[in-house]
Chains A and B, each alone.
Chain A
Amino acid sequence: MDPSHAANAAIVTHLWVIPAFPLLAAGIIAVTRQSGRKLATVCAVGSMVLALILSLVAFGWVLGRDRGGGELHAVQNIPWLQMGSQSLDLGWVLDPLTAVMLVMVSFVGLLIFIYSIGYMAHDPNYTRFFGFLALFAAAMLGVVIANSLLFLFICWELVGLASYLLIGFWFEKPSAAAAAKKAFITTRIGDMGLFLGMLWLYSSSGTLLFYDHGQGCLEVGALAKLAGQTTLVGMAVSTGVSLLIFCGAIGKSGQVPLHVWLPDAMEGPTPVSALIHAATMVAAGVFLVARVYPLMAAGGPAPGVSTALTVVAWVGVITAVFAACIAVAQTDIKRILAYSTVSQLGFMMLGLGVGGVAVGMFHLITHAFFKALLFMGAGSVIHGVHEEQDIRRMGGLRRFMPVTFLTYAVGMMALAGVPVFFAGFWSKDGILHAAHGWQVSPWPFWGGLFGALLTAFYMTRQVAYVFFGEYRGATRRASSATAPAVSDGHHEPHDGTPHESPAVMTGPLAILAFFAIGLGFIGTPAWPWFQSLLSWRPVDHLELGRLFEEGGAETMALSILVVAVGIGAGWWLYGRRPASSATELDVLERHQPAVFRVLREKFYVDEFYEATFIRLNDRWAWFCVTLDNWVWGGLVLVISYLVLGVSWLDRLFDEYVVNGGFDQGCRGIMRGGTSSSKLQDGNTQTYLRTIGVALTALLLLLTWGCHQ
């Protein structure tokens, strides 16, 4: 254990400040008027700068710790909800995984914030955008530092909320509002699984804290207990909980079958796509699996092999191949990148499943950088061709937008996995290497190779369509249906020719391109600095010989071959003779129209869902409405009639009994009065007689009464 756990370092106790800064910024921006742009910008960017500085401090602290004494998990827990003897605690943890993610999220987030200053400059809802961005950043950082599954879930839901707000940012557009709803509902379905898993975990192990000085649910004692218990179907409790938690990851990271929201989420502004759907939110699912990896790996026959991890690996490889196939046939620049993201997330899950935390996380980190780069480059392209998003109407843009082209090319090569110099190669190679050595089945390896091939292929296709050939967009302003007309205010030719984006947008592109190249080198087998950081082993020196051990040479050769084939095929079909007009059919479409149509229609998954689940839900909702109207409503109606009847009876009672009785009484008194008044008949002698009788009575009373 960490020898200094008795008194945590200052950075550990104050780790909560890192998400607090963007949250505070979001709060300030929420009460700022829409005209307070400068304030919003300063708050948001400033908070991210502070968060980045503190993240670097935390990273530095982690680097400085001694790696000899077991795993590093510096925790700070606070009791939150006391329920008798049990309590739900919240807390944060600072370990290598956290530190790496903190730096990545805050750095990429900061770059995207700066990029958004330029991209959203002409949007009337600028301040609202930055408020949502800050909220999202706070929530994501919260997910990263969480030491309690409950705290993670809270921030997870906040991330979902922020992504809903950001996807539906242009909510006046019905397609954007629908996409936001779809994203939220689809991830919600996954979150149900996560919630159930959380409940099960709490009831089985009694704690939701990950690390708690030996009592956390990811520590040895709890894991042994969970792996030992079995459920009705013979599955270990740890496997069941892991699978449920993985459901949440499926939803958030867009794995098959819950991937349908991610492409539609491109309705949001491009910085949103870059931040959320490339670098951070979708990575949250992968991060979750990495975080609870000890739980997933527990109970297996060999370390790193268990039922849960096998499921993760299979889901990952299926997603990778599925999404890559669909990406081949798309024509919207952002959709291609969206499906590419889904595919790469599948690769990450595959990496986690077969190779462990370090393998999957390395690809996550490198992917964050080059996918953000690609999205921001796409945003720059869209901005430059005046909001056109169809790649068939672009072309030859490398002449108009050189900086964008260069950075985009770097990103594309990193994604495709061009060897040695580009980060994607090393991270993807790590995954393939691990899949190659997987004992359970060889199929993920071949699937991963196929996916890599397709990745290279469709990226080449995209680059060829967009940057090579002749410009196919008309000189008119082609208003795309997917983005509202944003009036550009900066100097541009009014005849509609494309132009380069301003420096505030191309600057972050350049920075990310640098990282897309440089990050690869920290994770090569020759010098596995990243992997040893995550697994908390002492760093080995640079040793090229390690590149070729354990079948590594074979894997590397195969992956290089695959990349070459992919790029070559793409160039052969699309780059040699680029399309000359916007309406020209795709080459593949000409030769294989049926297959191409299936791919373009995304394997009809959305239609399938529409026909089954959505319709079922509709029926169920209709049934509930009928129930409400006729059964419960009928009940209410019956009761109301009952009450009416009682009140009618009451009225009758009041009228005839109470009033009538009163009236009768009054009449009786009147009659009594009438008859009594007959005593006074005016006749003196009657009075005298009455007096005489009274006298007699009095006399008798006195005499006989006294006698007694």
Chain B
Amino acid sequence: MSPLAQCLSFSCLLFGVGLAGALTRRNAILVLVGIELMLNAANLNFIAFWRFGPHPEQLTGILFAIFSIGIAAAETAVGLALIITIYRHRGSTNLDDLTSLKG
């Protein structure tokens, strides 16, 4: 397996772990944690492709990763603010209790 393939498989694994957590834990914050892990896996993908790609001097991968980190941070902030507000209104962060959008 080439180094790139190794990196990519590793990031896929990480992604899977994050996905499993997002899909199984009851707490809303932990869903967010899972999402963070997934985002990081994607970042790793970008870096790997930058490192083993054809034009590393163009720094495209690095820039993409930097922007991704920034955006992830913003998203985490807003998401957590939302969860806090929901906790204040509903008294619970349990996803099973937050089913008012049931169809």
Contact = CB atoms under 8 A, between A and B. Distances in A.
Q: Do chains A and B touch in the complex (CB under 8 A)?
A: yes
Contacts of A689: 23
Interface string A660-692: 000000000000000001111111110011001
B23 A682 contact: no
Contact of A683 (B19, B22, B24, B96): B96
A684 B31 CA distance: 10
Nearest to A673: B103
A684 B103 contact: no
Contacts of B98: 682-684
B103 A685 contact: no
A692 B15 CA distance: 12
A682 B102 contact: yes
Contacts of B23: 685, 688-689, 692
A685 B102 contact: no
B2 interface: no
Interface string B83-103: 000000000000110111111
B103 A682 contact: yes
A679 B99 CA distance: 12
A682 B100 CA distance: 6
Interface of B (DSSP majority class)? helix
A688 B103 contact: no
Interface in B45-103: 95-96, 98-103
A692 B100 CA distance: 22
B103 A681 contact: yes
A671 to B, nearest CB: 15
Contacts of B31: 684-685, 688
A609 B101 CA distance: 104
Contacts of B22: 685, 688
A481 to B, nearest CB: 102
Contacts of A685: 22-24, 31, 95
Contacts of B103: 677-682
B95 A681 contact: no
Interface in A574-599: none
A680 B101 contact: yes
Interface in A681-708: 681-685, 688-689, 692
Most buried by A among B23, B28, B100: B23
Contacts of B96: 683
A688 B31 CA distance: 10
B102 A681 contact: yes
A682 B19 contact: no
Contacts of A677: 103
A685 B102 CA distance: 13
Interface string B24-56: 100010010000000000000000000000000
Contacts of B19: 692
Nearest to B100: A682
B85 to A, nearest CB: 15
Contacts of A688: 22-23, 31
Nearest to A680: B103
A572 to B, nearest CB: 131
A77 to B, nearest CB: 98
A681 B95 CA distance: 12
9 contacts: A680-B102, A682-B100, A682-B102, A684-B28, A684-B31, A685-B24, A685-B95, A688-B23, A689-B23
Interface of A: 677-685, 688-689, 692
Shortest beta-carbon contacts, A-B, top 9: A680-B103, A682-B99, A682-B102, A677-B103, A682-B101, A689-B23, A681-B102, A688-B23, A684-B95
Given A682-B103, A689-B23, 11 more contacts: A678-B103, A679-B103, A681-B99, A681-B102, A682-B99, A682-B100, A684-B28, A684-B31, A685-B24, A685-B31, A685-B95
